[in-house]
Amino acid sequence: MYHYSLFLDLFRGEKASRAVSYRENSQRQLGETKVAASRLDATVGQSKWLSDRYKLARGLKDQIDFIYKLLPGSQKHRITEVEVFGVLTSGLEGSVYALDLPCSGLYRFGELFRFELPRQFDTYELLIKALARFLALKARLRAVLEILQDIKWTSTTETLQEPDLFWSPRKNLRTQPTRSTPPSPTPL
């Protein structure tokens, strides 16, 4: 006979992101074992929904921090234009959330919309409502991708405009090297 706890449920199906693993291993010292992000979720009582929202918010924060880390120095101020999205589902219902960083150190997390998928054919209008909302989300996601593409293009053109980036022996540098080159030894 198996004994099941009334207050402990295990749910599988979560996938840890690269940003979560990065956060968990950022303080790791040389020689320490890498910590893998957890994929198993245990809940106690009715805290499952709050726990999932908290973990989603933390995961989205890790994502935006990871994006910030990858931005070139001259483009880091544009993190305020980026937002990340997450979805929580439970059966045929779900919610879509967004997180952004409107100013330094202030993360804004909120629910964009809730959706419900039809259980029967006669409630297909639920599917139409959900599709309309997801198409609006797709437009927002494309806007974020265009911002990231613009950041990439701007940083590339800034790099290409650097005068000393492409040095050749036939062209004199505009600036002096950081240290002087020692003279070549003369044969005796």
Task: Please write the tens of the pLDDT for every residue from 88-104.
Answer: 998 899 999 999 998 88
Q: In this predicted structure, what is the pLDDT of residue 70? A: 87
What CA–CA distance (Å, rounded) separates 152 from 160?
A: 12
Cα–Cα distance measured from residue 45 to residue 51, given in angstroms and rounded to the nearest whole number: 11
The tens digit of pLDDT for each residue in 26-39 reads: 666 666 666 655 54
Contact 48, 70 (CB under 8 A): no
**What φ, ψ does residue 101 adopt, rounded to 5°?**
-125, 80
**Those residues with Cβ within 8 angstroms of residue 130's Cβ, 6 or more apart along the chain or in another chain:** 115, 116, 117
- Is pTM, for the whole model, over 0.85? no
> Out of 18-22, 54-58, 154-158, 163-167, which region has the weakest mean confidence (pLDDT)?
163-167
Q: At what angle do helices 18-25 and 48-70 cross, to 10 degrees?
A: 80
| Residues shown for the chain | 188
Domain locations in the chain?
8-160
